């Protein structure tokens, strides 16, 4: 039997540490959903022409992208509900947001007068 001496290699240790760090980084960088917080609602118009009711709003929404990559989104429509009833909608234009950033969006919205009146008076 021959006795073989094991020699410590700094190169192997550094490669192992770098591999462990890269694996940990990849596993912890799973994509996360952006968060949306409603900051304010500003009433821009309110018209009452019986029996019709028309209301316009501007919604200020704070969006946080927690990811290490930017996000890109296509245009969409945000629905506004109250007690299970669709009250109105706001159009969101296509855009993007940088990695690890926050953004404020001001969204013009229209409310359905019949649904709004129903919830105001009942």
State residue 62's pLDDT score: 96
Structure confidence by residue, pLDDT tens digits, 11-38: 888 888 888 888 777 666 678 889 999 9
Q: CA nearest 79: which of 30, 44, 115?
A: 115
Mean pLDDT calculated for residue range 44-49: 86
Q: Comparing 121 with 87, which gets the higher pLDDT? A: 87
With bands split at pLDDT 50, 70 and 90, how would you rate the model's confidence at 48?
confident
Element (H, E) at 40: strand 35-49
Q: List all residues 6 or more positions away from 66 whose beta carbon is below 8 Å from its beta carbon.
A: 32, 34, 35, 100
**What domains does the chain contain, in order, with CATH numbers?**
31-121 (2.60.40)
- Is the pTM higher than 0.85? no
> Could you tell me if 86 and 79 are in contact, meaning their C-beta atoms sit under 8 angstroms apart?
yes
78: left (phi over 0), alpha (psi -120 to 50) or beta: beta
Q: What confidence tier does 59 reach under pLDDT thresholds 50, 70, 90? A: very high
**Residue 65 pLDDT greater than 90, yes or no:** yes
Asked if residues 53 and 38 have their Cβ atoms less than 8 Å apart, the reply is: no
């Amino acid at each position: 039997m021959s006795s073989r001496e094991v020699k410590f290699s700094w190169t192997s240790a550094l490669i192992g540490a770098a591999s462990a760090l890269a694996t940990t980084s990849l596993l912890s960088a799973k994509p996360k959903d952006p968060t949306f917080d409603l900051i304010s609602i500003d009433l821009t118009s309110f018209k009452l022409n019986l029996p019709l009711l028309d209301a316009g709003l501007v919604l200020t929404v704070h969006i946080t992208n927690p990811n290490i990559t930017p996000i890109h989104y296509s245009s969409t429509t945000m629905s506004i509900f109250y007690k299970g009833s669709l009250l109105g909608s706001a159009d969101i234009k296509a855009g993007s947001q940088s990695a690890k950033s926050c953004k404020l969006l001001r969204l013009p919205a229209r409310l359905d007068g019949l649904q709004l009146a129903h919830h105001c008076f009942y």
